[in-house]
Structure 1
Amino acid sequence: MRKVVLVTGASSGIGLALCKRLLAEESELHLCLACRNMGKAEGARAALLASHPTAEVTIVQADVSSMRSVIRAAQELKQRFQRLDYVYLNAGIMPNPQLNIRALFSGLFSRKVIHMFSTAEGLLTQHDRVTADGLQEVFETNVFGHFILIRELEPLLCHGDSPSRLIWTSSRNARRSNFSPEDIQHRKGQEPYSSSKYATDLLNVALNRNFNQQGLYSSVVCPGTVLTNLTYGILPPFVWTLLLPVIWLLRFFANAFTLTPYNGAEALVWLFRQKPESLDPLTKYLSATTGFGNNYVTVQKMDVDEDTAEKFYQNLLELEKHVRVTLQKAGPQKIVFRPLQVCVRVRLLIRKDC
């Protein structure tokens, strides 16, 4: 029986590179591309089938910044499949990133230059916005849309036959200092991307705590510093031309500069081969590349604790109820809301200050 793998954000960048590498690992997969832009998705599908004609590659339209789109996509997936073996939660955004030129040049001549380029800490400013669902766009796209997708797909993930896997694209820039339990959408802060990635790490821990007994396992990955359309859009082309020699040189001093989507997908592909029971839910798996271009995987202990993760999970459940009620009241669109069932009984929190 073919393994079924769902990848969000699969039409370009790391998502597309991941799909190519997964088919190189196991060409008999059923690979489902969950993409917002169907034109790009069709192009990606054609390219994948051209190099792997025995594979089964399908498409589902899914915009994780829209709850209606997520629910509609999940309904379609439940009609197509009886189970999902892997779900790569890869789609994400960094909104309108702009470079802090002063921070860049001061950092170039400091001891923090490698750390600065590895994490982009202090380099970028972002301007978040509110979506049609009334949520912060970065939070909804990077975290909440995927959370709703998982909730909707529980019957395909918690089936009890063999383990199913959730694999999140997180970041080295996921920082506790940029996340507030009282402001999980990061409405007031200046680092929505970092906050959303730390929220991803928290959700990963909570999902393992609540669902491992039902055969659902979650892991988080950092692809490293990858040059994609997003990063190329931050600076004018001539600036990248000037910076690239410096970046290539830094690879000999830090392993985070994976640079290409192919290299960035290393840890994502590595997790495809691992037995989930052997993985540490508090560990982040990092794609790494040597100065000479050799890829490998390293690990990092996440700066999270289970109590905070469980509180965050409970907050997401409450937000989910609110959003679903709002959608139902919003007007006539043919979306069927099924009664949600949690795979295991959610632990009650003793503290009520969340």
Structure 2
Amino acid sequence: MTKVVLVTGANSGIGLALCERLLSHDSEGLQLCLACRNMQRAQAARSALLASHPGAQVALLQMDTSSVSSVVAAAQEVKLRYNRLDYLYLNAGIMPNPQFDLTAFFKGLFSSRVIAMFATGEGILTQKDGVTADGLQEVFTTNLFGHFLLIRELEPILCCDGRCSQVIWTSSSNAHRSTFTVEDMQHQGGTQPYSSSKYASDLFSLALNTHYNDKGLYSSVTCPGFVMTSLTYGILPSFPAFLWTLLMPIFWLIRILTNTFTLTPYNGAEALFWLFKQKPESLDPRAKYHSLTSGLGNNYTQPRKMDIDSETSEALYQKLLQLEGEVRRRLKEKQRDSKLVHSSAGLS
């Protein structure tokens, strides 16, 4: 039976690498949908995939996870196209305006925590968050809440016909408990919204399993490791290209010491691809599945227990449901006001 797979943030980096690996595995047995914000880049990604797999079924979907109306509209389109969804890869994410602490970086270079610093960015990265048109924190909405709404909207085709469906998140080793509180789940009062949003994703994945496993929906979390993508390069936007070139041999040397330096999007997609081939009911809902690469370049996946608990997970889930209600009410009010404006314009 053909499997329907939707991937958010699929036009580059790890998302695009995953799509390539999925099609290489079974190009004829998949209906692949690339959900992207930038349709020009999405079209280029689709063309690249079809060049390698001419007979593949690759569709495009415009969706911006930072916009409530965009997510709702995209979900409606998905339900019109497909009567079921087997895999939902939640890969879209941002780390806007990263601030790099050079002093902390150079101190870390000559300390015992150098590998952990490179692998997680802990202690050297902060971000300046923005606010969306819906009045929500941008990182929280893009990385978590937009995906939460998407799952809620797609529930009828994720939980149907007695089949198992999988939701698979791209999380991060930068997901730290210390950056997150349920009381400030949008991270309005902090400087590490990316870490907070990724930790919240880990918590929400556990809540999904608690509430939806009996309906056939399973959720898993992955970590791609340290990968050179546009998000990584964006950490130092003014960094000259030749300095990145000089750093790469250092990164390759570090990979001999740690398996978390996957470096390439292909390697970083290892756990995402590995989960595609597993029986979801056999997976550990409290594990984060890490993409790892040995010093010799061999890729493998390893589960590691997440620093999460059921109580905080459930509290976050209830807060997300509450926020969903508020956001949907505001969206209906906007739509109603828009209709009134158009009606008045028509009368005049």
Structure 2 letter corresponding to 1:85: D
Q: Which residue number in structure 2 is paired with residue 340 of structure 1?
A: none
Q: Which residue number in structure 2 is paired with residue 325 of structure 1?
A: 329
Written as runs of structure 1 = structure 2, the 5 A alignment for 1:133-172 is 133-172=134-173
- Cα distance in 2 for partners of 1:124, 1:110 equals 17
SS in 1 for 2:88: strand
Are the counterparts in 2 of residues 128 and 138 from structure 1 also a CA contact under 8 Å?
yes
- Cα distance in 2 for partners of 1:15, 1:62 equals 14
Q: Which residue number in structure 1 is paired with residue 32 of structure 2?
A: 31
**How far does the alpha carbon of each residue in 1:230-262 deviate from its partner, in whole angstroms, 9 at most, with x for none?**
212323123323322221111011111000000
- Cα distance in 2 for partners of 1:239, 1:91 equals 27
Q: Which residue number in structure 2 is paired with residue 316 of structure 1?
A: 320
State the 1:86 CA deviation.
0.1
Are the counterparts in 1 of residues 223 and 289 from structure 2 also a CA contact under 8 Å?
yes
State the 1:277 CA deviation.
0.8
Q: Which residue number in structure 2 is paired with residue 48 of structure 1?
A: 49
Are the counterparts in 2 of residues 160 and 214 from structure 1 also a CA contact under 8 Å?
no
- Larger deviation: 129-138 or 93-102? 93-102
Are the counterparts in 2 of residues 170 and 197 from structure 1 also a CA contact under 8 Å?
yes
- Percentage of identical aligned residues: 65
Q: Which residue number in structure 2 is paired with residue 345 of structure 1?
A: none
Given the alignment of the two structures, is residue 266 of structure 1 paired with residue 270 of structure 2, yes or no?
Answer: yes
- Cα distance in 2 for partners of 1:43, 1:247 equals 29
Written as runs of structure 1 = structure 2, the 5 A alignment for 1:232-251 is 232-235=233-236, 236=239, 237-251=241-255
Q: Which residue number in structure 2 is paired with residue 338 of structure 1?
A: none
Q: Which residue number in structure 2 is paired with residue 20 of structure 1?
A: 20
SS in 1 for 2:167: strand
SS in 1 for 2:284: coil
Are the counterparts in 2 of residues 160 and 215 from structure 1 also a CA contact under 8 Å?
no
- Cα distance in 2 for partners of 1:240, 1:101 equals 15
- Cα distance in 1 for partners of 2:234, 2:35 equals 24
Structure 1 letter corresponding to 2:228: L
Are the counterparts in 2 of residues 285 and 300 from structure 1 also a CA contact under 8 Å?
yes
- Cα distance in 2 for partners of 1:312, 1:50 equals 43
- 1:277 maps to which of 281, 292, 298: 281
Q: Which residue number in structure 1 is paired with residue 292 of structure 2?
A: 288
- Cα distance in 2 for partners of 1:78, 1:15 equals 22
SS in 2 for 1:180: coil
State the 1:167 CA deviation.
0.1
Aligned residues between the structures: 334
Q: Which residue number in structure 1 is paired with residue 132 of structure 2?
A: 131
- Larger deviation: 163-172 or 47-56? 47-56
Q: Which residue number in structure 1 is paired with residue 180 of structure 2?
A: 179
Q: Which residue number in structure 2 is paired with residue 191 of structure 1?
A: 192
Are the counterparts in 1 of residues 226 and 263 from structure 2 also a CA contact under 8 Å?
yes
- Cα distance in 2 for partners of 1:55, 1:241 equals 35
Q: Which residue number in structure 1 is paired with residue 343 of structure 2?
A: none
Name stretches of at least 5 consecutive residues in structure 2 with no aligned partner.
Answer: 340-348
State the 1:296 CA deviation.
0.7
SS in 1 for 2:289: strand
**How far does the alpha carbon of each residue in 1:133-160 deviate from its partner, in whole angstroms, 9 at most, with x for none?**
1000000000000000000000000103
- Cα distance in 2 for partners of 1:270, 1:231 equals 23
State the 1:36 CA deviation.
0.4
Name stretches of at least 5 consecutive residues in structure 1 with no aligned partner.
Answer: 335-354
Are the counterparts in 1 of residues 271 and 289 from structure 2 also a CA contact under 8 Å?
yes
SS in 1 for 2:208: helix
- Larger deviation: 238-247 or 193-202? 238-247
SS in 2 for 1:58: strand
Q: Which residue number in structure 2 is paired with residue 223 of structure 1?
A: 224
Are the counterparts in 1 of residues 162 and 215 from structure 2 also a CA contact under 8 Å?
no
State the 1:316 CA deviation.
0.2
State the 1:98 CA deviation.
2.4
Q: Which residue number in structure 2 is paired with residue 210 of structure 1?
A: 211
SS in 2 for 1:117: helix
Would you identify which runs of 4 or more consecutive aligned residues in structure 1 move more than 6 Å? none
- Cα distance in 2 for partners of 1:238, 1:106 equals 23
Structure 2 letter corresponding to 1:201: D
Structure 2 letter corresponding to 1:11: N
Q: Which has the higher helix share?
A: 2
State the 1:54 CA deviation.
2.0
Q: Which residue number in structure 1 is paired with residue 345 of structure 2?
A: none
**How far does the alpha carbon of each residue in 1:10-37 deviate from its partner, in whole angstroms, 9 at most, with x for none?**
0001000000001111112100000001
- Cα distance in 2 for partners of 1:120, 1:243 equals 16
Are the counterparts in 2 of residues 32 and 59 from structure 1 also a CA contact under 8 Å?
yes
State the 1:333 CA deviation.
5.7
Are the counterparts in 2 of residues 38 and 61 from structure 1 also a CA contact under 8 Å?
yes
Q: Which residue number in structure 2 is paired with residue 102 of structure 1?
A: 103
TM-score by length of 1: 0.93
- Cα distance in 2 for partners of 1:161, 1:54 equals 30
Q: Which residue number in structure 2 is paired with residue 303 of structure 1?
A: 307
Q: Which residue number in structure 2 is paired with residue 91 of structure 1?
A: 92
